[in-house]
Amino acid sequence: MNADYYYGISKIYFKRVLFNIIKIANLNRSNEIILDYGCGSKELGKILKNQKVLNYDINPNYTDHDDYKKLKFDIVILNHVLMYMEDEEILSMFRNVKKINPKCKFVIGIGKEGFINKLAAILALNFKAHKGTKNNYKNQLSLIKSKMNIIDVKKNIFFMTDVFYTSFKD
Region 26-46 average pLDDT: 94
pLDDT higher than 70, residue 98 = yes
Alpha-helix residue ranges (DSSP H) falling in 54-114: 87-100
Q: What is the pLDDT of residue 2?
A: 45
Q: What is the pLDDT of residue 128?
A: 64
Q: What is the pLDDT of residue 30?
A: 82
Non-local (6+) Cβ contacts of 27 within 8 A are 21, 34, 48, 51, 75, 107
pTM greater than 0.85 (yes/no) = yes
Region 82-95 average pLDDT: 97
Considering only residues 111 and 127, tell me which one the structure prediction assigns the higher pLDDT: 111
Q: Are the beta carbons of 36 and 62 closer than 8 angstroms?
A: no
